[in-house]
Structure 1
Amino acid sequence: MTFSKQLRFLSLVACAAGAIALPACNRATKEQKALRAELRQALQEHSYAKAADLARRVLKLKPQDEGTWDRLVQAQFGLRDLAGAKQSLEEWRRAIKKPSPNLEEYAGDLAVVQHEPTAALQAWTKVLGIDPKNIRVLEKVARLEHAQRHWPEENDAWTASIKVQDGATARINRALCRRRLHRWQEAFEDLQRARELAPDDPEVQRGGKLFEQTGKFLAEIRELDAALAVSPDDPGLLGDRALMFLRCEDYELALEDAEAAAKAGPWAMRPKLFQAIALIDLARSDECERLEVDKRILLETLTQEFIETMGRLDSEISAERNNAELYAARAWQLNEIGQPALALQDAEKATQLDTKSASACAEASYALNKLGRAKEALEQIKRATELDANFPTAWEYRGELEMERGETLSAIDSFSHALETNQTVMALQKREQCYRRLGLLVKADQDHRAVEQLNARAAK
């Protein structure tokens, strides 16, 4: 066969092969198109298992189909198949030489779910390096910085988003972020702009209510901001500002300042109370247990006098850490507001500093009884009356505990000791009850008449 004949023969073979292959190619293309359409439909219907299966079938036919890699990862996220998504991202990276920024965005999304914020930010930074105007990724960065309490970085991310496209979501979130930074003027300006853009947006309305409350106390807050700029670790100032935020119902900032105050002044009690109140209002009341604060505490039940007294005692204790009287006085205050666990802490500290402190023993007794430790409570109040025989309130409380235990004769003796020093209606009434229990009606009637006389004098 001559060379020209050979060439013609090969041409005919090629044409024949092409004619055979073309229908097969068309069939494959049609199959891929049908699968892709079905895949898109499955994703729209949130049929993620079906979508993942369809995506794998397409990729088997065409491994370089980047759109299908994208949809496969979407389906795996929908299925919460994180291991599968991670593997798909690796395979996608190998299959496509220059993958789209979506791959890095998904890598960042996966890192967030796996609690790897640094890796997430690195991935999203790559996306923004290619597409700096990607609003979706800018918002993801801002929200991740918020979750990590990186307020300056969050502010920068929202600012970048606003430069690309001004919107109510970015504005209200930047306003809330700037509130964290105590950049009040700018925060209120962002709030105003958010209201202009979307006055009916629920997020904007919630933020607006918070700022309205803050505005009522803004002058006082700014004064404390200025003072804390000079003394940033002053527990008293931090506690004062925490109280301001509690009053304006900004419980997040209240908690932030109360925690800082407690860290700066671990001896102080007021910050613990403020922490607990903030936690309760943030629906985190279970965390009060570690603070040993009773979850029933309410800001409105704390009088201004109590708050000022606690602030003064905290300050005095900071200067005199070994003064038992100060701890005993603070224990009394804490018992008065129904915080026996904290009161017991202070009472025990006072006893350590002064083993002969009758008032510390009395406060410990009161706290122990409230904590359901009646036997120990009686031991402590007996100790208090032994240390100070002229302590009427201790004798009276001892009598009450003895009454509860059915020790009527002992209770009468205790009430009598109390009445020798200070006649009170309560002690007389309790002793009257004891006399009646024993059938000593003459003595009971005497106490009854004494009560009437005291009440008559008080009424004049």
Structure 2
Amino acid sequence: MTDDGDREHRYSEGQGFDDGYDDFTLEPPELKVDPSKVDPVDSRVLADILDRRNVDRDDVDVTSLMEVGLSYMQINRFEEATETFARAAQFAEEESLEAQEAWVNKGVAHAELEEFDEAIGAYREALRANERSEHAATAETNLAYALWEFGEVEEALEHAERAVEIDPRFPQAWYNRGFFLSERGLHEDAVNAYDNALRLGMRNADILEEKARALEELGQLEEAEEVQAEADELREQAEQEMVEEYDAGP
């Protein structure tokens, strides 16, 4: 078994970034920007363009702006991503799904920078837009994680609970709920939460290790060892796949 210690919460954010954003572009047509004259990693270009022209909300393609932000995320330009998602939220219809998605993504970008206070604010804005939409469970789950990182453990559990109430089929929400319950010593409830996440398809080494720890705390040592062995096997498989991909080259 692994030592509890000051372990990091291996958190699965579940915000659903698509891996399909392979091309980086700055060409929302409504902005009338010549991409050949724009440095795509200039962190101020979008803000400058929008501020300079005082663009009307109807003249901005928010979807294209969101894709720019996601492209920044793909190349780990998180500061630029926060600015771009803020612009998307500004020009989206208030309380729309687009606005909510922009706020959620902005929070994720801040979390990547470990700016958890800003992430908390962004997730709260997302929930202010709509507390029951398709993005609300993700916002609640991510807010719970940011609050935990910020030291607000009790409130983190409240939002983890709310996430599973909104979408009981969201495995990342169950995983986080299990983690926060375990942190409070409620290991039996934590195991049940982990099992829900596993039943919903979230099977990886991280969640199995957390379940093994909770089982160990409950004194169920034999089952804990079995779960830990499965976690070790999955981690070894993942490491072997990484080695094989590296050896295969591009």
Q: Same fold (TM over 0.5)?
A: yes
Task: Pick closer, same or farther for the CA change 1:310–1:405 going to 2, 3 Å.
Answer: same
After superposing on structure 2, the runs of 4+ consecutive aligned residues of structure 1 that deviate more than 3 Å are: none
Match of 1:236 in 2: 47
Match of 1:439 in 2: 219
Figure out how many residues of one structure are paired with residues of the other and give that number: 170
TM-score (norm 2): 0.61
The AA in structure 2 aligned to 1:309 is A
CA contact (8 A) 1:328 1:350 kept: yes
Is residue 2:227 matched to residue 1:451? no
Match of 2:148 in 1: 369
Match of 2:92 in 1: 320
- Residues 207-265 of structure 1, C-alpha deviation per residue, up to 9 Å, x if partnerless? xxxxxxxxxxxxxxxx78xxxxxxxx9862389xxxxxxxxxxxxxxxxxxxxx7xx99
SS in 1 for 2:209: helix
Query: Matches of 2:150 and 2:143 in 1, distance apart?
Result: 10
Match of 1:341 in 2: 117
The AA in structure 1 aligned to 2:204 is T
The AA in structure 1 aligned to 2:207 is A
User: Relative contact order: is structure 1 or structure 2 higher (C-alpha 8 Å, sep ≥ 6)?
Assistant: 2
The AA in structure 1 aligned to 2:233 is Q
- Residues 400-452 of structure 1, C-alpha deviation per residue, up to 9 Å, x if partnerless? 11111111111111111122221021110011011111121221122122112
Q: How far did 1:304 drift?
A: 4.2
- Residues 333-381 of structure 1, C-alpha deviation per residue, up to 9 Å, x if partnerless? 2122211111111111111111111111112212222232221111011
TM-score (norm 1): 0.34
Gaps of 5+ in 2: 1-36, 39-43, 56-74, 242-250
The AA in structure 2 aligned to 1:378 is L
Among 133, 137, 140, which residue is 1:358 paired with?
137
Match of 2:107 in 1: 331
- Residues 43-95 of structure 1, C-alpha deviation per residue, up to 9 Å, x if partnerless? xxxxxxxxxxxxxxxxxxxxxxxxxxxxxxxxxxxxxxxxxxxxxxxxxxxxx
SS in 2 for 1:413: helix
CA contact (8 A) 2:174 2:196 kept: yes
Q: How far did 1:312 drift?
A: 3.4
Query: Matches of 1:328 and 1:447 in 2, distance apart?
Result: 33
Query: Matches of 2:222 and 2:138 in 1, distance apart?
Result: 35
Match of 1:109 in 2: none
Among 397, 411, 415, which residue is 2:176 paired with?
397
Query: Matches of 1:370 and 1:452 in 2, distance apart?
Result: 26
For 1:195-210, list aligned pairs within 5 A: none
Query: What is the RMSD computed on CA atoms of the aligned residues?
Result: 2.7
- Residues 106-149 of structure 1, C-alpha deviation per residue, up to 9 Å, x if partnerless? xxxxxxxxxxxxxxxxxxxxxxxxxxxxxxxxxxxxxxxxxxxx
SS in 1 for 2:114: coil
SS in 2 for 1:412: helix
Q: Whose helix proportion is higher, 1 or 2?
A: 1
- Residues 163-191 of structure 1, C-alpha deviation per residue, up to 9 Å, x if partnerless? xxxxxxxxxxxxxxxxxxxxxxxxxxxxx
Query: Matches of 2:49 and 2:156 in 1, distance apart?
Result: 36
CA contact (8 A) 2:190 2:214 kept: yes
SS in 1 for 2:223: helix
Query: Matches of 2:237 and 2:137 in 1, distance apart?
Result: 31
Q: How far did 1:398 drift?
A: 1.4
SS in 2 for 1:359: helix
Among 66, 70, 78, which residue is 1:306 paired with?
78
The AA in structure 1 aligned to 2:87 is S
The AA in structure 1 aligned to 2:86 is D
Task: Pick closer, same or farther for the CA change 1:320–1:452 going to 2, 3 Å.
Answer: same
Query: Matches of 2:146 and 2:76 in 1, distance apart?
Result: 23
Query: Matches of 1:408 and 1:387 in 2, distance apart?
Result: 23
The AA in structure 1 aligned to 2:130 is D
Gaps of 5+ in 1: 1-222, 225-232, 240-260, 266-302
Query: Matches of 2:206 and 2:45 in 1, distance apart?
Result: 43
